[in-house]
Structure 1
Amino acid sequence: MPRGGARAVSGPPPDPRSLRSTKVADKGGWRTLPAEGRQGDAPEWPLTTPADRELGLWDDLWAKPQATVWEDMGQELEVALFVRTLAEAERADARVDVKKMVRSYLDSLGLSVAGMNRNRWKIAPPLEEEHVADPVAQPAVRRPSARDRLKVVPSGEGS
């Protein structure tokens, strides 16, 4: 068994806000994915005849922001294998090793927070609609705090 040394997923995931990760990001960089997700239809299903559940998952996944990267990298087969494995893992009698494979796919495809960090992906903030001030809106009422309940008690002069 190998000992010591770095492993592919050893240590904490990179943090886009840390100074050290920023230095590493200058070399590799973080990729910002569009908040609105991938536009267009899902690619053609690459495996044998899919079940209805698999087609539903397939369409949903190809609308996610991560799908822009999968498309660039030609990962249709890997995503299809994930879909098939996920559909199998959803069954009540699914084996534990199948569920572990789903977790691995989630990380490698960037569908989990840890996977997003390891792949150095972040999702762009959604475009905000223009906020129109409501002239009827009431100002926020200040809630009393614990400090408001405290009273100053004068010290007794003769006690």
Structure 2
Amino acid sequence: MPRGGHAASGPPPDPNALRRRRPSDAAGWKTLPAEGRTGPLPEWPLSEPTDREWDLWGELWEKPQAVVWEEMGQALEVALFVRTLAEAERPDARVDIKKMVRGYLDSLGLSVSGMNRNRWRIAPGLDTTAEVVPLEADRLERRRPSARDRLKVVPSGEGS
């Protein structure tokens, strides 16, 4: 039986992977603005929203991911996610509804794995207290020790 084959097979791409030096990796990642999307709220594309749906709709369109949703014309997908999320929040929500929410989180880039699969990252914020570490320096600091790093040189003739 063949393995994988669906869109989410295998681990999501990692922008900080140590051994990946492909030109497509550097060019394929989109940096989203930390301040999120600005501008008027898109028109609600479904039947009349509930108060909860309207609140979620407004919150989601302020997120950095909303910049891409707007570029790609995904208002309907976001509205369907909002409606499903509002239903999943109910105490008597079915498990399949909750699974649908998880799928929407990934496809809309609202989860970490979804952001990685979409090759999106959020630009550093305007917080001046945060230190920005260059990607190469960050990689070197987080490098796992190799077996060679754990070896100790023992001079010959000692202890005999």
TM-score (norm 2): 0.75
The one-letter code matched in structure 1 to 2:44 is W
Partner of 2:62: 63
Q: Any stretches of 5+ residues in structure 1 without a counterpart?
A: 132-159
Question: 1:45 and 1:7 mapped to 2: Cα distance?
Answer: 31
- Which structure is larger by alpha-carbon Rg, 1 or 2? 1
Decide whether aligned partners of structure 1 residues 13 and 41 sit closer, same or farther in structure 2, where only a CA change above 3 A counts: same
Q: Any stretches of 5+ residues in structure 2 without a counterpart?
A: 131-160
Partner of 2:76: 77
Question: 2:55 and 2:119 mapped to 1: Cα distance?
Answer: 28
Aligned residues: CA RMSD: 1.9
Partner of 1:20: 20
Decide whether aligned partners of structure 1 residues 21 and 14 sit closer, same or farther in structure 2, where only a CA change above 3 A counts: farther
Partner of 1:153: none
Partner of 1:114: 113
Structure 1 residue 129, shift from structure 2 partner = 4.1
Partner of 1:33: 32
Structure 1 residue 113, shift from structure 2 partner = 0.3
Percent identity between matched residues is 68
Structure 1 residue 5, shift from structure 2 partner = 5.1
The one-letter code matched in structure 2 to 1:58 is W
Q: Which moved more, 1:2-11 or 1:91-100?
A: 2-11
Aligned length: 129
Which structure has more RCO (C-alpha within 8 Å, separation ≥ 6)?
2
Decide whether aligned partners of structure 1 residues 23 and 11 sit closer, same or farther in structure 2, where only a CA change above 3 A counts: farther
TM-score (norm 1): 0.75
Give a deviation string over 1:78-115, Cα, whole Å, max 9, x none.
00000000000000000000000000000000000000
